Structure 1
Amino acid sequence: MRGVEAVVVALLIGILSSINADTDPADASALNILYTSLNSPQQLTKWNASGGNPCGESWKGITCSGSRVTEINISGLGLSGNMGYQLDKLTSVTTFDISNNNLVNQIPYQLPPNVQRLNLAGNGFTAGLPYSISQMTSLKYLNISHNQIQGQVTVPFTSLTALSTLDFSFNSMTGDLPQSFQSLTSMTNMYLQNNKFTGNIDVLGNLPLENLNIENNQFSGWIPEQLKKIHLQSSGNLFKSVAAPPPPPGSPPARRPNVNPKSGDTSSSLHTEGSEGNGGGGNKSGVGAGAIAGIIISVLVVGVIIALFIIKRRSREPSTDIEKHDNQPFAPVASQQSQEMKSAQSSSMTSTINMETPVVIDLKPPPVDDLKSEDEDDVSTPPAPPPKKANKAPKNAKLYSIADLQIATDSFSADNRIGEGTIGCVYRAQLDDGQVLAVKKINSSSLSNSKDFVEVVSEISRLDHPNVSELIGYCFEHEQHFLVYELHQNGSLHESLHLLDGQSKALTWNNRVKIALGAARALEYLHEVCSPSVIHKNFKSANILLDMEFNAHLSDCGLASLVPEPDQASGYNAPEVSMSGQYTIKSDVYSFGVVMLELLSGRIPFDSSRPRMEKSLVRWATPQLHDIDALAKMVDPALDGHYPVKSLSRYADVIALCVQPEPEFRPPMSEVVESLVRYGGLKDERRHFVLVVQLSSKTALCHNRKIEDEISHS
């Protein structure tokens, strides 16, 4: 008995010690920040803004194992605010449920990295999933349903092989399903209903699904046969009502993993009829293998003959007769061949373009209505996907030949070289008519082919804003690619601040605020007017060009796909970019804050020649932005004290918000624009506030140059 009593006492001591264990400091600190970020709600009983012992004091919704927090369940408590920026420190948390609250901000990048159950449903989130979710290899359950998330799914799911339940339902997600879904080898329950997904669902065909809800989307094509054997809900889509066409001869049969409900084994369920019987030599059907092979060969031969007959007949018929055959069983095969012939003809036409004389081409895509088949009931070919962007039709862009550009730049001479950027060199070009332009020669390493280049040109030509550099034309010839822009005589902001001694003196305080405001409006247009949003990815002072009135013109817009890996030493990249390489509109906001610091201090973002604590401009300046005395010492000496102190302080407040290390705390560019207009050192702030109200429409705010100039010169 004494031995049993000793064991019981030891167990009680262990239980009591675990209950009263001091919480890991990193876990406690993360919960302190979470509590503060949620506006210190009374619903979270026993929680503290600093200190405390979550495990020992039984904080509401917190479960621990020893000194580590393992579960956070604070669902449905009417919480507001955001989730803070240290949840990634909670490395032992396996369940995180903050669903059905009022957290309308962006989902933070910092989330518990080893979580197995993540529930963020019902909070009103609008931005997409953070990239960090793609690295949660232990994740088994992910629920972001009943939010307002828009846009395409850009997070890769390649590493989420343990994920078994995925709920994206009741959002506004668009685009095709990501191909990385095919890596979800443990997926049994998927809920995608009530979104705006398009394309087909073939990527789901070989997943071990048991329940799939894809109702009320815009999916098209055919439902894979494998998915018809599970609990499938698919109404409210554009699926074909007839059977899918047979696969091409020689294609392997579609197969679906056989799920053993007890073991979860996903081994193949295919068995040959001859695999049963004594010694494997019997055949229960009584049909020999030779007979089966003969039947299959006969069917294939007949199919090939019919296909050849139809193809030959089509080649002799006019186009109107060909269209009449679209409802025939073999239409997809013939349709594919027809498309290949059209593609070959298009390539041939492209190669015969006369590049010696510049021509004007209209890059406007065909109207959406033209993408539809003439026969609305056509069931042989899937409908064409909708255009990816909803921006207005692009403007005309002029196609130049290399010969024209060589003459205009004196064979791209060093004397005409006016700059070198991340993706290529820029040359001054003077045309025969006296027009002076800037020609950007794209590095061959940034671009793989001319097709991608023309797509980039089409995207750039859609941009239309007075603070965005205007694309005049382009050239692609002999595997070389050029963009032709308007030339701004005052060069770049980087040159004015850091390279030209006399020019920096011309940048008065009002000029600097004007430049910041123009650049802010350019980003506001890209982020909040363009649909979908355009991420700049390479926002820096060298890409802010100035005209003779010091109006800012942002260059390299729409070239994000050509920008190589981030330069970690540039000083412009947000912390999350340095960690993950992923750019967002919030990383653009951070880069804008760095440029504002350049305008304020006259320093470059990263200066290796300065003392260790002053190398990074953001790290050196941030602690001083709210100290008026220290702030005055930070100001560019070129200003010689000529600036309004009140305006300087408010300018610094905007910087502090933009360079927050946590992206969810950075403001949208529309708020930055409003702050610069209201507090930018303008003479009559009340008058400017009235003008801002008059410009409540973002489009008017971006495009009304007359009122913009009135604001800038008041």
Structure 2
Amino acid sequence: MARAAWAAWLLVLMCFGAWTPRQILVAAATDANDVTALNTLFTSMNSPGQLQGWKVSGGDPCSESWQGITCSGSSVTAIKLLNLGLSGNLAYNMNTMDSLVELDMSQNNLGGGQQIPYNLPNKKIERLNLAGNQFSGAVPYSISTMPKLKYLNLNHNQLSGDITDIFSNLPSLTTVDLSSNSLTGNLPQSFTSLSSLKTLYLQNNQLTGSINVLANLPLDDLNVANNHFTGWIPNELKKINSLQTDGNSWSTGPAPPPPPFTAPPQSRNRRKSPGQRSNGSNNSSSGGSSGIGAGAIAGIIISVLVVGAVVAFFLIKRNQRKGAMPEHYEQRQPFNSFPSNEVKNMKPIEEASTVQVESLPSPAAVNLKPPPKIERNQSFDDDDFANKPVAKKSNAAPVKATVYSVADLQMATDSFNMDNLIGEGTFGRVYRAQFSDGKVLAVKKLNSTALPRQSSDDFYELMTNISKLHHPNLSELVGYCMEHGQHLLIYDFHRNGSLHDMLHLSDDYNKPLSWNSRVKIALGSARALEYLHEICSPSIIHKNFKSSNILLDTELNPHISDAGHSSFVPDAEFQASDQVSGYSAPEVDMSGQYTLKSDVYSFGVVMLELLTGRKPFDSSRPRSEQSLVRWATPQLHDIDALDQMVDPALKGLYPAKSLSRFADVLALCVQPEPEFRPPMSEVVQALVRLVQRANMTRRMIDGEEASRRPDDQEQEFV
């Protein structure tokens, strides 16, 4: 009996022992989002067999100890798969890995000449290392959404283009390595915000301009060798322990003195961030006192005396002139009657080479108060008025855009000859400009609609706002002109024209857009709107999104134009043109108010254009087919009807599944109720998934069959 009892207890203990690990296993199950992202990553990397434990679907990475995966509880915190010969690309949904702290995929063959995917982990990521791969395109702007990032390494890839202003909100970043790529342009102003940066490697690129933006960073290690930098190496940088600057075009001789408006060193030191090193010894002798020293008091007294003397001098001179000159002559006395040394010491004006000194206030107006605002009805010529806002904006951050003269633009456009007219829209006419050095640009001559008040202040603000927008799928502002009352914006020129012309204008020299190209254009355009809506702060509503504002480069990459113009134009101006063109959302027709969701609707209309090859509104068609949205939306979920809707120019060369998914996305965008339309980030993710699924399907198809597909060069979208 006793033996039976002991046997029963033993059986219970064995069952308990067998049960306990199972319960622990369940408790340790990996977060579902992390599992899905790792499954997708495995597939995106062509399912490499050398990765132990990894699976195409399902699994438990944390408890099954997948190779290179580190977990904390049920969350994946690190992915380290370096130097394994991996190919393919990263997953499109890695941004769902909310607990990932480190991603190291360095020294592989990832990318295959494609851009770094936008949806990188961003919430907790501290270390991002994609060095030694084959990624192309620009440094991804999604890095700007990684507030905890400390280490960034993208060296030895194929990155190109300018480094955009993505570093403004990365206070923890200590190491940046962008070396051995093909990056161009000047260093971004946002580098000045990297208050914790200790190591910066930029060598072996094609970067230009000066390196002054690095002067006040707390750097210990800086390498800018083998670029095209010019100017002088700032003295602050010469004190860095590890500094490499060879292979650039530095200026020789003593550096020029700082401009008169530069703050004195004492003020700049007081504004230093805690991480910056002091260049002097004042701190050690200050004893923590915040009072004003005797030298400072003496300086203030001298300054007051000098100012008083100058004011008294001109008051006397003014009284003397009153008896000898008519009043109207005195009021228009030019500023250059000041003594030359006084003019020299005045606060300089940006773009001083084009500013006329006569545009400043007359001596009679000079006192200790700010100069009076110049009104439009005063007797100043066009040059004076055109440069007025530049003077007003002298304290603002410099605009990174080239200043062109009207004469330069007249020569480049043959006096704005109609033969060079390449487009006309809500904001003005666009001309092709061929410069003497061979460069071709697009010049937009703004009309009264773009600047209702015809104010140069408004133009300067508009141009400044546009110059801050940087995205691979936005048309980049490269220059401006504001002379003789003219307001012109200069952009990159895109040789393939607009999507509207590509779709709707017959041209014997252009072959129809393939299905792959159409998906590519839709995805790039969606990413541009996502940037305006969800990355820019405050959000920017485009208001004028349509196929004629989607410009195509030689690789058929889309570049959205007119971004940033909307705040200066009344909604009624857009509404009048949209109602005719067919891009206007229903709520805009009723209320006249534009929102982010009305942009989403317009994007859906463009997707319909891409799918059908039809114009949004075509009066030449039967009445029931004139409005593209009304005609198409009832048929989007009918497979047979959908096939009949497809652009005949495609000649049936498209994948049925991709077409159906494309239609599903656009159907969500053109819903009549704005609250049911998705945000652009979800649209981007849906289109990326469409591409991702197509990639998976393509890899499973026999190579001989794949070779018979149209447009092999773009198979990633088939």
For residues 264 and 16 of structure 1, the distance between their equivalents in structure 2, rounded to whole angstroms, comes to 50
Residue of structure 2 equivalent to 1:66: 73
CA 1:479–1:342: 2 relative to 1, 3 Å: closer
Deviation track 1:347-403 (CA, whole Å, cap 9, x = no partner) reads 9999389xxxxxxxxxxxxxxxxxxxxxxxxxxxxxx99999xxxx95424379xxx
Residue of structure 1 equivalent to 2:142: 132
**Secondary structure of the corresponding residue to residue 29 of structure 1:** helix
Q: Does 1:235 align with 2:235?
A: no
- Once the two structures are TM-superposed, the CA of residue 227 in structure 1 deviates from its matched residue by 1.1
Q: Could you state the TM-score of these two structures normalised by the residue count of structure 1?
A: 0.51
Which of 634, 637, 646 is the aligned partner of 2:642?
Answer: 634
Larger deviation, residues 184-193 vs 149-158:
149-158
The letter for the 2-side match of 1:351 is D
CA 1:70–1:514: 2 relative to 1, 3 Å: same
For residues 139 and 36 of structure 1, the distance between their equivalents in structure 2, rounded to whole angstroms, comes to 27
**Secondary structure of the corresponding residue to residue 55 of structure 2:** coil
Q: Does 1:80 align with 2:92?
A: no
For residues 162 and 276 of structure 1, the distance between their equivalents in structure 2, rounded to whole angstroms, comes to 30
For residues 253 and 119 of structure 1, the distance between their equivalents in structure 2, rounded to whole angstroms, comes to 40
Deviation track 1:495-519 (CA, whole Å, cap 9, x = no partner) reads x99xxxxxxxxx99x99x9775799
Q: Could you state the TM-score of these two structures normalised by the residue count of structure 2?
A: 0.51
Residue of structure 2 equivalent to 1:45: 52
CA contact (8 A) 1:145 1:168 kept: yes
- Once the two structures are TM-superposed, the CA of residue 245 in structure 1 deviates from its matched residue by 2.6
For residues 156 and 147 of structure 2, the distance between their equivalents in structure 1, rounded to whole angstroms, comes to 24
For residues 258 and 639 of structure 2, the distance between their equivalents in structure 1, rounded to whole angstroms, comes to 71
Q: Does 1:214 align with 2:221?
A: no
Which of 396, 399, 416 is the aligned partner of 1:398?
Answer: 416
Q: Does 1:101 align with 2:130?
A: no
The letter for the 2-side match of 1:340 is A
Which of 156, 160, 175 is the aligned partner of 1:165?
Answer: 175
CA 1:619–1:337: 2 relative to 1, 3 Å: same
**Secondary structure of the corresponding residue to residue 192 of structure 2:** helix
Alignment of 1:236-635 (within 5 A): 236-248=247-259, 251-254=262-265, 265-266=275-276, 270-272=280-282, 275=285, 340=352, 342-344=354-356, 351=382, 394-398=412-416, 423=427, 442-444=449-451, 449=456, 540-541=546-547, 559-560=562-563, 562=565, 593-599=607-613, 621=636, 630-634=638-642
For residues 40 and 487 of structure 2, the distance between their equivalents in structure 1, rounded to whole angstroms, comes to 53
Q: Taking every aligned residue pair, what percent have the same amino acid on both sides?
A: 37
The letter for the 2-side match of 1:235 is D
CA 1:14–1:422: 2 relative to 1, 3 Å: farther
- Once the two structures are TM-superposed, the CA of residue 665 in structure 1 deviates from its matched residue by 7.5
CA contact (8 A) 2:223 2:245 kept: yes
RMSD value, Cα: 6.6
- Once the two structures are TM-superposed, the CA of residue 85 in structure 1 deviates from its matched residue by 1.2
CA contact (8 A) 1:139 1:162 kept: yes
How many residues align structurally?
475
- Once the two structures are TM-superposed, the CA of residue 291 in structure 1 deviates from its matched residue by 13
Residue of structure 2 equivalent to 1:549: none
For residues 147 and 555 of structure 1, the distance between their equivalents in structure 2, rounded to whole angstroms, comes to 23
CA contact (8 A) 1:21 1:67 kept: yes
**Secondary structure of the corresponding residue to residue 152 of structure 2:** strand
Deviation track 1:537-556 (CA, whole Å, cap 9, x = no partner) reads 966356699xxxxxxxx999
The letter for the 2-side match of 1:112 is P
Alignment of 1:6-21 (within 5 A): 17=24, 21=28
For residues 338 and 646 of structure 1, the distance between their equivalents in structure 2, rounded to whole angstroms, comes to 57
- Once the two structures are TM-superposed, the CA of residue 243 in structure 1 deviates from its matched residue by 2.6
Which of 114, 119, 123 is the aligned partner of 2:133?
Answer: 123
Unaligned runs of 5+ in 2: 1-19, 307-343, 360-378, 385-399, 405-410, 431-444, 468-480, 491-498, 525-531, 533-541, 552-556, 569-573, 587-594, 619-628, 666-682, 692-707, 714-718
For residues 48 and 237 of structure 1, the distance between their equivalents in structure 2, rounded to whole angstroms, comes to 49
Deviation track 1:117-148 (CA, whole Å, cap 9, x = no partner) reads 00111112111133321011000001111111
- Once the two structures are TM-superposed, the CA of residue 29 in structure 1 deviates from its matched residue by 0.7
CA contact (8 A) 1:657 1:665 kept: no
The letter for the 1-side match of 2:253 is V
For residues 276 and 23 of structure 2, the distance between their equivalents in structure 1, rounded to whole angstroms, comes to 44
For residues 582 and 254 of structure 1, the distance between their equivalents in structure 2, rounded to whole angstroms, comes to 48
- Once the two structures are TM-superposed, the CA of residue 646 in structure 1 deviates from its matched residue by 6.6
Residue of structure 2 equivalent to 1:150: 160
CA 1:148–1:517: 2 relative to 1, 3 Å: closer
Unaligned runs of 5+ in 1: 1-12, 282-287, 302-331, 354-383, 401-418, 427-437, 460-473, 484-491, 498-506, 528-534, 546-553, 572-577, 605-613, 625-629, 668-685, 697-714
**Secondary structure of the corresponding residue to residue 230 of structure 2:** strand
**Secondary structure of the corresponding residue to residue 61 of structure 2:** coil
For residues 189 and 550 of structure 2, the distance between their equivalents in structure 1, rounded to whole angstroms, comes to 37
CA 1:452–1:352: 2 relative to 1, 3 Å: closer
Deviation track 1:635-667 (CA, whole Å, cap 9, x = no partner) reads 567x9xx96997165588579689784476888
Deviation track 1:456-494 (CA, whole Å, cap 9, x = no partner) reads 9xx9xxxxxxxxxxxxxx9998778899xxxxxxxx979
For residues 415 and 209 of structure 2, the distance between their equivalents in structure 1, rounded to whole angstroms, comes to 31
- Once the two structures are TM-superposed, the CA of residue 343 in structure 1 deviates from its matched residue by 4.0
- Once the two structures are TM-superposed, the CA of residue 597 in structure 1 deviates from its matched residue by 2.2
**Secondary structure of the corresponding residue to residue 232 of structure 1:** strand
Residue of structure 1 equivalent to 2:202: 192
For residues 581 and 185 of structure 1, the distance between their equivalents in structure 2, rounded to whole angstroms, comes to 39
The letter for the 2-side match of 1:344 is Q
CA contact (8 A) 1:207 1:257 kept: no
For residues 565 and 94 of structure 2, the distance between their equivalents in structure 1, rounded to whole angstroms, comes to 33
For residues 479 and 277 of structure 1, the distance between their equivalents in structure 2, rounded to whole angstroms, comes to 57
**Secondary structure of the corresponding residue to residue 118 of structure 1:** strand
Which of 8, 16, 22 is the aligned partner of 2:29?
Answer: 22
The letter for the 2-side match of 1:63 is T
For residues 91 and 82 of structure 1, the distance between their equivalents in structure 2, rounded to whole angstroms, comes to 20
Residue of structure 2 equivalent to 1:112: 121
Deviation track 1:284-307 (CA, whole Å, cap 9, x = no partner) reads xxxx9669979x999xx9xxxxxx
